[in-house]
Amino acid sequence: MTKPRFFYYYNIIRDTNVEAAQWLDNIPREKWTLAWDNGRRWGHMTTNLAESINSLLKKTRNLPICSMVMATYTRCNKFFV
Protein backbone atom coordinates (compact mmCIF):
# COMPACT_ATOMS: atom_id res chain seq x y z
CA MET A 1 0.00 0.00 0.00
CA THR A 2 1.22 3.48 -0.82
CA LYS A 3 0.89 6.52 1.40
CA PRO A 4 -1.61 8.27 -0.94
CA ARG A 5 -3.75 5.13 -0.95
CA PHE A 6 -3.50 4.94 2.84
CA PHE A 7 -4.74 8.51 3.17
CA TYR A 8 -7.58 7.80 0.75
CA TYR A 9 -8.91 4.99 2.97
CA TYR A 10 -8.03 6.79 6.18
CA ASN A 11 -10.12 9.79 5.07
CA ILE A 12 -13.04 7.46 4.39
CA ILE A 13 -12.74 6.10 7.92
CA ARG A 14 -12.44 9.60 9.38
CA ASP A 15 -15.50 10.82 7.44
CA THR A 16 -17.51 7.78 8.50
CA ASN A 17 -16.41 7.46 12.12
CA VAL A 18 -14.36 10.18 13.82
CA GLU A 19 -13.87 8.10 16.98
CA ALA A 20 -12.35 5.25 14.96
CA ALA A 21 -9.92 7.67 13.31
CA GLN A 22 -8.94 9.10 16.69
CA TRP A 23 -8.39 5.56 18.02
CA LEU A 24 -6.15 4.77 15.03
CA ASP A 25 -4.20 8.00 15.58
CA ASN A 26 -3.16 6.72 19.02
CA ILE A 27 -1.34 3.73 17.47
CA PRO A 28 1.99 4.35 15.70
CA ARG A 29 1.43 3.86 11.97
CA GLU A 30 4.55 1.68 11.66
CA LYS A 31 2.78 -0.97 13.74
CA TRP A 32 -0.36 -1.38 11.65
CA THR A 33 0.12 -0.02 8.13
CA LEU A 34 1.99 -1.33 5.11
CA ALA A 35 2.69 2.21 3.91
CA TRP A 36 4.93 2.94 6.92
CA ASP A 37 6.44 -0.51 7.60
CA ASN A 38 9.75 0.25 5.82
CA GLY A 39 9.45 -2.94 3.79
CA ARG A 40 9.56 -5.35 6.76
CA ARG A 41 6.32 -7.14 5.92
CA TRP A 42 7.46 -7.87 2.40
CA GLY A 43 10.70 -9.40 3.69
CA HIS A 44 10.80 -11.96 6.50
CA MET A 45 7.90 -10.86 8.68
CA THR A 46 4.44 -12.27 7.97
CA THR A 47 1.07 -10.68 8.62
CA ASN A 48 -0.67 -14.05 8.66
CA LEU A 49 -1.13 -15.31 12.23
CA ALA A 50 -1.64 -18.91 11.10
CA GLU A 51 1.73 -18.88 9.31
CA SER A 52 3.40 -17.51 12.42
CA ILE A 53 1.91 -20.19 14.67
CA ASN A 54 2.73 -22.97 12.18
CA SER A 55 6.37 -21.90 12.01
CA LEU A 56 6.47 -21.79 15.80
CA LEU A 57 5.13 -25.33 16.13
CA LYS A 58 7.01 -26.89 13.21
CA LYS A 59 9.24 -29.02 15.49
CA THR A 60 6.34 -30.51 17.47
CA ARG A 61 4.61 -32.37 14.63
CA ASN A 62 6.25 -35.75 15.31
CA LEU A 63 5.88 -35.73 19.09
CA PRO A 64 3.34 -37.82 21.07
CA ILE A 65 0.10 -35.94 21.68
CA CYS A 66 0.78 -35.08 25.36
CA SER A 67 4.23 -33.74 24.53
CA MET A 68 2.79 -31.85 21.56
CA VAL A 69 0.16 -30.15 23.71
CA MET A 70 2.73 -29.19 26.36
CA ALA A 71 5.20 -27.88 23.76
CA THR A 72 2.43 -25.93 22.03
CA TYR A 73 1.36 -24.37 25.31
CA THR A 74 4.92 -23.50 26.30
CA ARG A 75 5.92 -22.00 22.97
CA CYS A 76 2.68 -20.02 22.55
CA ASN A 77 2.99 -18.76 26.11
CA LYS A 78 6.53 -17.49 25.41
CA PHE A 79 5.37 -16.00 22.12
CA PHE A 80 2.47 -14.03 23.61
CA VAL A 81 4.13 -13.02 26.87
DSSP 37-64: STTGGGTT--S-HHHHHHHHTGGGTTS-
Domain boundaries in the chain? 1-45, 47-81
pLDDT at 37 over 80: no
Q: What is the dihedral of CA 22, 18, 46, 70, to 10 degrees?
A: 70
pLDDT at 13 over 80: yes
- Mean local confidence (pLDDT), 3-30: 92
Taking the whole predicted model, whether its pTM rises above 0.75 is answered as no
Please provide the average confidence, as pLDDT, over all residues in the chain: 81
pLDDT digits (tens, 9 = 90+) for 39-62: 665 555 556 777 777 777 787 878
Pick the residue with more confidence: 10 or 38?
A: 10
pLDDT at 11 over 90: yes
